[in-house]
Amino acid sequence: MNFRAALVQMRSGRDMARNLADAAAMIREAKAGGAAYVQTPEVTNIFEPDKERLKAIAKAEADDETVRSFSELAKELGLWLHAGSFALRADATRLANRSLLFAPDGRVAARYDKIHLFDIDLPSGESHRESATYAPGAEAVSISLPIAILGLTICYDIRFPPLFNALAKAGAGVITVPSAFTVPTGEAHWHVLLRARAIETGSFVLAAAQGGVHDSGRATFGHSLAVNPWGEIIAEGLTEPQVIYADIDPAQSAQARARVPALVHVRNFDLKPASFMVS
């Protein structure tokens, strides 16, 4: 069945209560705009670069106020509410970067912990070490909903095509990529990576993003994006917090895969290293 998706572009900060209020207002706006599925970005509940402060204030899923509020909001509004990710306590030393998909009755229908962690030193001097804060996930997640089969990923996962191929082979026709991309990598790679994953898998790709300069001083790229299975951008945000809409026809995924059946043409192969000596 066709449905309207809404991507909530945010500029989360260090105040969880403010982030929740901002998210709730835009989620309500999305519902009023006809959305049946609403996605928020990565680290919706808190954007906190200070690792020690983040570890000190993060709570377990059962104790997190934003989790409870999203559950209540999904039930009140009667929609599929996808918290792109929350920073939640996983154990005594590390957190989970976790997507939660809330059903229209408020229950958690699916959980996904980010598998690929962003550890990088950028030429600008900016450095990120997600593995110092978060424990990596170990399981890919897809879920069959009345509106579509969704595959769940988060941000840096976009650079790992085997994950997307596995989700598509499991039947996902809509793959989600809630994100908080840096500006340098966003300018260079955001659009091409999302379009490539859509083309390779014949899937819709829906990516709500963080955007702008946050209260910590760090900047994210924004440009929340919806891409159809042929690789065409069908909706795009800019940098400011906003809601963007995309009307999704899940049948287009099957049509794209029939036109280019690459998923069924995958072959196993051996790699034979070769050497050549110049005398």
- Is 56 a member of any domain? yes
The stretches of the chain forming alpha helices (DSSP H) are: 16-32, 51-57, 65-77, 161-169, 183-185, 191-201, 251-259
How large is the average pLDDT for residues 37-52? 96
Residue 125: the pLDDT is 67
Which domain, by its residues, includes 65? 3-264
Give the CB-side neighbour count of residue 130, counting CA atoms within 13 A. 22
Task: Average the pLDDT over each of 12-16, 104-108, 272-276 and give the range with the smallest value.
Answer: 272-276
Q: What integer is the mean pLDDT of 12-28?
A: 98
Q: Which residues contact 30 (CB under 8 A, 6 or more apart)?
A: 6, 8, 38, 79, 243, 245
pLDDT at position 134 is 94
Beta-carbon-side half-sphere exposure of residue 66 (alpha carbons within 13 Å): 31
Question: Model confidence at 129, in pLDDT bands (50, 70, 90)?
Answer: confident
Whether the pLDDT of residue 279 is over 90: the answer is: no
pLDDT in tens, 214-230: 999 999 999 999 999 99
Check whether 45 has a pLDDT greater than 70. yes
> What would the pLDDT profile of 239-271 be if each residue is shown by its tens digit?
999 999 999 999 999 999 999 999 999 999 999
Query: What was the pLDDT predicted at 4?
Result: 98
- Domain CATH number, residue 257: 3.60.110.10
pLDDT at 83 over 90: yes
Check residue 276 and give its pLDDT.
80
What average pLDDT is seen over the chain?
95
User: Which of 71, 8, 70 lies closest to 42, judged by CA?
Assistant: 8
Residue 195 included in any domain? yes
135-184, pLDDT tens digit by residue? 999 999 999 999 999 999 999 999 999 999 999 999 999 999 999 999 99
Residue 21 has pLDDT above 70, yes or no: yes
Residues acting as catalytic residues: 42, 114, 155
| Residues whose CB falls within 8 Å of the CB of residue 232, separated by 6 or more in sequence, listed in order | none
For residues 43 and 135, give the distance between their C-alpha atoms in angstroms, rounded to a whole number. 15
What's the pTM value of the predicted model, to 2 decimals? 0.95
* Assigned domain for 272 exists: no
Rg of the Cα atoms in the chain: 19
The answer to whether position 274 is within a domain reads no
Q: Which of 246, 217, 241 is nearest to 24 (CA)?
A: 241
**Domain presence at residue 277:** no
User: Which of the two residues, 49 and 230, has the higher pLDDT score?
Assistant: 230
218 assigned to some structural domain: yes
Is 188:196 a contact under the CB 8 Å cutoff?
no
Q: Is the pLDDT of residue 127 over 80?
A: no
- The DSSP-derived string for 87-114 is EEE-SSS-EEEEEEEE-TTS-EEEEEE-
The total domain count for the chain is 1
In this predicted structure, the answer to whether residue 122 has a pLDDT above a threshold of 70 is no
33 lies in some domain: yes
**Residue 278 lies inside a defined structural domain of this protein:** no
